[in-house]
Structure 1
């Protein structure tokens, strides 16, 4: 097996040659990219080790030119670099290299990588291609220099990054997966410890946090505060801040709190996410031990942030359209149709796996009197407030919906009735203690609740579950309102 080593360092060429010859390989060395290209095109080589940083033309340019030639699209190339920067690895693999190694490397790592690349080549093709291409006798290499000059490495790198971002858009992922994929793409080309994507969603903020290396909680707090300071430059952000922030942490390696020593915010970079003239969030990266970000890293970050804004905005709009299709326009809760669909699914799942399922129905007490006295706009304020209370009282796996008028429902999967009663009582107490905004003074309201459950209440269909909860709720009304009633199999509601 013949191997070509292309590296401008005589030390590296000699080291590779000694290791490979000792393993029985035939080795030829070239000191730069032009001689390397000539050697490959002269034929007879089975694999090439190719340095990235070389005079005349870089290894990236050599790799790109070989991959653009159909005869060399499958020729095995292992990239070498002494810099160890993430963009080198990303760009090396994107230009078509089969593997990437950072100097210095040891014998075992070298041979393991070599074996893996050759095994992959054998799987791709049952028979090796004839790689022999004779150079014309009058070719002195000037045509190769000319072709290399046409390879605009920086532009290609940026185009490849942009393409990587737009590939995310084609996956039809939700907002969570999209933001994580964007952060992972940034991590593949820039060294940092933590990234955050902060999005404005109606009157709240949604913060996605991505931890890539051991950090401290204090470092996380510093980075978050710095990001919020950047956001607060927007005049509207104060209102958003008061409404609260939903934080979603992605730390698969459990790096939070793993740092052995205190970390300061050495490097910080943030960019606004803008699309169609709207500023809808911020993108940030930060690191502690490796100092400030270099200009090259900041440029890469800015490019990814600009392109990501378009992708994220499209996903936001798509999810908003989906929410509108299943949401109640006034309260933002799920609508009646979606509730019926999900209840059918949960009921079928509960029957199949013998799981508990509870349903809570709620009706606002004296709501008609409220509308008659204060008007329907005041009634809308109360309905929105009630929806907020119900959201805060349930788990992520539960579903809250507006059933119709002043009635609301909550589906509690894998929850026995006795636990559902506790949830309903918590809802009732929060509503009783809440003050709703009124025209002249705060208003006090109450609500009545009914609870039913499968398999306790002789339930045969989802409609039985609704009917039992409805019956219990009206029993609570008849019992004096502002209470929780539990349906019993005897047809009576206990309070």
Structure 2
């Protein structure tokens, strides 16, 4: 793995090319041209020499002559690929045939170039091969990073969930014991006999809650995670000792609180819709004559920038072939106005490298001089452009997935606690600034642990997922619902007063109570308790104090028998 990573780093620094040909004149000419263009080159005259050089460093591209003194060049591809799977191999041959093409594809060659060599074609082939190679390797890196983050997040959330469950059980036992003692007017005696002062209970509980909060915000730090877990265990042991003191006096039992496609354009199953922006009838007919034989290509035409913008606005094109000089502007104007992400290939004047560089910087995928337009060159550039567009789409999807993973709960698809805290801070600031209403609802499933214990955790996961779906259906687009933790959900309702929030909460509570949950052959029901809190603009409260208000109302709903909505009156 270290060797592979080192090779990737070498690739980023400077592209390198291995030229394998027994003709020293060919090797020297190619090396000279590539060195002037900014590439690093090495040459080899035999297959064995090529293998030894490939072992010594990373090469982006190998230009390989088919006829070598010691072996068939095609048979050299496999050992080179074994040394470096990411290496792109382009064959050099004195003649082209179907047999040569078939062998090249079978051995995973990128393509082949026919002697005598056209150096412009060679440079274009190498550049396109390296661009494709970079996209493939970047996609792989993003995928691996996403998989690693997903695994680490899952492990951290499982550990956090287990700790929260233990905390709830311990905390509920303390609350139940204290309630019973207060009712029997024995709290003073209990504290004296057990030695359980308020400080003894408050300190470990505070440590547990703060460490859990830190775990939630530092999931990506394994060292911090281990240290925080040790602190949590110590605090848990302190609570356990206090509970045992209380239980020594109280004999009655309490209940616990519940990659790159190998297809060519000829092999595509779907239609490829191409727009040619070309004012010259003669030049358009040239393009049409080249592309017409390909049944899967649907070619449309626009004569100027305005017509092209109008047509592309109502039709989803896969590719645009853009003439640089148009009656109402040039290619740079068109690229600047393009809003859709449609791949664009610019057809430039003969040998105008300055314009070619400008359009690439402006967003064009590629360019081709008019005097180079042929069946072979156009087919190749269309294939490569469509492939690069596909890879870019996949990269964007991967980046989007990674972004979602940091704000979304995987099981329910709702926003997670981290995103909730950030949003609540913004909504409170907005409510203060504009004097608008803001409501927070905290909902907790009643006796959810019994579902897991009776039907198994898959059934519990199914319930959480369906609850998440029902919540999303009950709220407006401007509201926000998230999974706060375990079986607890939080809903932020901007521009909503307490009575409207109560109505929304009651509607959701009734729907849950009437819902028939099904898992395999089992049918069961569940209820939900909801606490509602209205933010008071006249009193400066922090987000956590606002959450505590809603939590207090939720606790009252639990105490009053569950399956109900309680609005905080303060």
- 1 or 2, which has the higher strand percentage? 1
| Fold conserved between structures, TM > 0.5 | no
TM-score (norm: length of structure 1): 0.41
